[in-house]
Chains A and B, each alone.
Chain A
Amino acid sequence: MLNRVKTRSIGFWLELVGGVLAIVTLVMGMTQNALVTNTNFDVPTVVLLILGAVLAIAGFFVDFDFWALLPAACFFVALGLVAIGGAPVIADWFNKVVYSGGNLSCVIAYLSMLGASSLLSIAACYLPASKKN
Chain B
Amino acid sequence: MKKTKKNVWRGVAATMGLLTTIAFCGASVANANAGGINNFLGISGATTPSGDGETRFASSYGELSDENLKKLIADEMDYCAKQLEEGSVLLMNNGALPLSSSERKVTLFGRASADIQYRNSNGGGSADPAREINLKKAMTDAGFTINETLYNAYASSATKRNKAGDETADIGEEKLSFYTDALKATFADYSDAAIVTLSRWGGEGTDMSRKDSEGVSQLALHPSEKDMLNMIKQSGKFKKTIVLVNSVYALELGDLEEYGVDACLWIGNPGYYGLAGVANVLTGKANPSGRLVDTYATNSLSSAAMQNYGGDYYINSSELAAHENKYVVYAEGIYVGYKYYETRYEDCILGRGNANGSAGIYASKGGQWSYADEIAYPFGYGLSYTTFSQTLDSCEYNASSDTFTAKVTVENTGDVAGKTPVELYVQLPYTEGGVEKSAIQLVAYGKTGELAAGASETVEISFNRYLMASYDTSAHGGKGGYILDEGTYYFAVGSDAHDALNNVLKAKGASGMVDPFGNPVSGDPDCVKTYVLSAKDDTSYQKSAYTGNEVANLFDYADANYYYDAPVVTYLTRSDWQGTFPKTVVLTANDKIKAALETHNYDIKKGKKSLESVPYEKPANLTLADMWDVPFEDEKWTTFVQQLSIEDLAKLVNENYGQSSIDSIKKPATVTSEGSEGCSKKYLFGDKGIATGYAANTLLAATWSHEMQEKYGDFYGEDALYCGVHTTHGPGAGTHRSPYSGRNAEYFSEDSVISYYVGMETVTAMAKKGLANNFKHFFLNDQENGRQGIATFSNEQAIREQYLRAYEGGVTGEGGIAMMTSYNRIGCTYMAADPTVQFKLLRDEWGYKGYTMTDYIQAGEYSSTPDAIIGGTDIFGGNDRVTEIKQLVLRNKKTSGDLVEAMQASAHRIFWTYTKTSMMNGLTSNAVMTDFVAWWQYALIGIEAGIALLTAAAVAMYVYTAYFRKEKEVA
A residues apposed to B, CB below 8 Å: 33-34, 36-39, 65-66, 68-69, 72-73, 76-77, 79-81, 83-85, 87-88, 91, 95-102, 118, 121-123, 125-128, 133
Contacts and interface: CB of A to CB of B under 8 A. Distances in A.
A133 B322 CA distance: 52
A126 B11 contact: yes
A126 to B, nearest CB: 3
A80 B22 contact: yes
Contacts of A36: 858-860
Contact of B787 (A72, A79, A98): A98
Contacts of B950: none
A66 B7 contact: no
Contact of B18 (A66, A68, A91, A118): A118
Interface string B1-42: 001001110110111011011101100110001000000000
Given A84-B29, A101-B323, A66 B860 contact: no
Interface string B319-339: 001110000000000000000
Contact of B17 (A37, A72, A91, A102): A72
Q: Which of B321, B789, B859 has the most CB of A within 10 A?
A: B859
A100 B860 contact: yes
14 contacts: A36-B859, A38-B861, A66-B958, A69-B10, A69-B14, A72-B17, A76-B17, A80-B24, A88-B859, A88-B879, A97-B206, A125-B11, A126-B11, A128-B7
Nearest to B789: A101
Contact of A68 (B14, B20, B164): B14
Contacts of B879: 88
A83 B106 CA distance: 54
B788 A98 contact: yes
A100 B582 CA distance: 32
Nearest to B788: A101
Given A66-B10, A97-B204, 20 more contacts: A36-B858, A38-B861, A39-B859, A65-B10, A72-B17, A76-B20, A81-B25, A83-B25, A85-B859, A96-B163, A96-B164, A96-B206, A98-B205, A99-B856, A99-B858, A100-B857, A101-B859, A125-B14, A126-B10, A128-B7
Contacts of A80: 21-22, 24-25
A33 B879 CA distance: 20
A84 B25 contact: yes
A122 B859 contact: no
B11 A73 contact: no
B962 interface: yes
A76 B859 contact: no
A121 B7 CA distance: 13
Interface of B: 3, 6-8, 10-11, 13-15, 17-18, 20-22, 24-25, 28-29, 33, 122, 163-164, 204-206, 321-323, 787-789, 856-861, 878-879, 958, 962
Contacts of B164: 96
Given A66-B962, A97-B204, A99-B857, A77 B21 contact: yes
A97 B120 CA distance: 13
A98 B15 CA distance: 34
Contacts of B958: 66
A127 B856 CA distance: 47
A64 B861 CA distance: 43
A125 B10 contact: yes
A97 B859 contact: no
A23 B86 CA distance: 64
Contacts of A125: 7, 10-11, 13-15
A121 B14 contact: yes
A128 B3 CA distance: 8
B11 A76 contact: no
B961 to A, nearest CB: 10
A127 B205 contact: no
Given A80-B24, A97-B204, A128-B3, A68 B10 contact: yes
Given A69-B14, A125-B13, A126-B8, A37 B859 contact: yes
Top 8 A-B residue pairs of the complex, sorted by shortest distance between their CB atoms = A126-B11, A97-B205, A125-B14, A37-B861, A88-B858, A80-B25, A36-B859, A76-B21
B653 to A, nearest CB: 15
A38 B867 CA distance: 14
* Residue from the set B10, B18, B21, B857 with the largest chain A CB neighbour count within 10 Å: B10
B122 to A, nearest CB: 7
B657 to A, nearest CB: 14
A34 B17 CA distance: 28
A12 B25 CA distance: 27
Given A66-B10, A126-B11, A133-B3, A76 B18 contact: yes
Nearest to A87: B29
A38 B884 CA distance: 11
A6 B7 CA distance: 20
B3 to A, nearest CB: 6
Contacts of B6: 65
Contacts of A34: 322
Contacts of B33: 91
B3 A38 contact: no
A42 to B, nearest CB: 11
Nearest to B857: A99
A100 B11 contact: no
Nearest to B864: A38
Contacts of B22: 80
Nearest to A33: B321
B17 A73 contact: yes
A79 B878 CA distance: 23
Contacts of A95: 122, 205
A100 B859 CA distance: 5
Contacts of A121: 14
Contacts of A122: 11, 14-15, 18
A126 B954 CA distance: 13
Contacts of A101: 322-323, 788-789, 859-861
Contacts of A77: 21
Given A87-B29, A101-B322, A96 B205 contact: yes
A9 B29 CA distance: 38
A69 B13 contact: yes
A56 to B, nearest CB: 13
A125 B204 CA distance: 47
Contacts of A133: 3
B568 to A, nearest CB: 27
- Pick the most buried of A39, A88, A99, A133: most chain B CB atoms within 10 A of its CB: A99
B859 A79 contact: no
Contact of A79 (B14, B21, B322, B962): B21
A33 B321 CA distance: 9
Which residue among A34, A38, A123 has the maximum number of chain B CB atoms within 10 Å of its CB?
A38
A38 B858 CA distance: 10
A69 B575 CA distance: 77
Nearest to A97: B205
B150 to A, nearest CB: 30
A121 B909 CA distance: 52
Q: Which of B18, B206, B789, B878 has the most CB of A within 10 A?
A: B18
A121 B17 CA distance: 11
Contacts of B18: 72, 76, 79, 118, 122
A65 to B, nearest CB: 5
B21 A65 contact: no
B874 to A, nearest CB: 20
